[in-house]
Structure 1
């Protein structure tokens, strides 16, 4: 059994972009990095545009602007100490997978950032998906110690996918 990502496409450009394949590879790489083998987990992904993510960003973060990716973990998994490693969730089974949470990703912002930063758009989107999945697992970048831990994990996971250091 592999991890499951349930994708809702509100913006058809994501389908043409190949988001499902990138999401599957990103999720597999994250779970593999933690030795979770990707079994028994569910992630919900909203593939949307800037208008939709701006509305979500306003509603949930009080920031009325588009952003690249947002995440909503199903449980609080963060470590108690800055720079600490969050507790890994236990996988569910095929009939009742452990729900890790929801991610939303915005097409225009992701493409504009990739162009501005001179990055391959698929590499940039994969980085943002890895970033979002790490948030669902309890990682964050609120303080310097947590940011360093998360960035190092992202860099290592992306390297395993053949993607250069995004930082």
Structure 2
């Protein structure tokens, strides 16, 4: 499956999924918000469509007409209010940065509670991207953190939800032993 652009390719993939009431729209210009929503989309068979920050590409604009509800993931720097207003039934999930957005996706969409989570760096895409389907299979969120310290938004989420089990995706350069030690301290 392919298109002339990433926006067309996302539409091609969306058309292979059973039609849902909901779609997800994220930035096609940067990756973190897509990583955070990936497991939820995989669990529920919801398509992830891409947009530019200030312009809704025509392939995405045509595709979103098939849905009655849209989750917009990311702040106005990633998906502007102008773009959000063009989407059907839009609900935005965001934070001050990629880490808060990641924690907020987990809080709002994994509403049955989180007792386990995947943890990955928010500084690069590869580990969280490849782990997102596995996280979806396990019905767990991927929570992004900074490489050398557990991001405060992630820590707050883990404490509030009383998370007990973690899977760290990536090597020590992606998620350091210091982050692992901080996670261990939360469950002892």
TM-score normalised to the size of structure 1?
0.24
**Relative contact order: is structure 1 or structure 2 higher (C-alpha 8 Å, sep ≥ 6)?**
1
Q: TM-score, normalised by structure 2?
A: 0.22
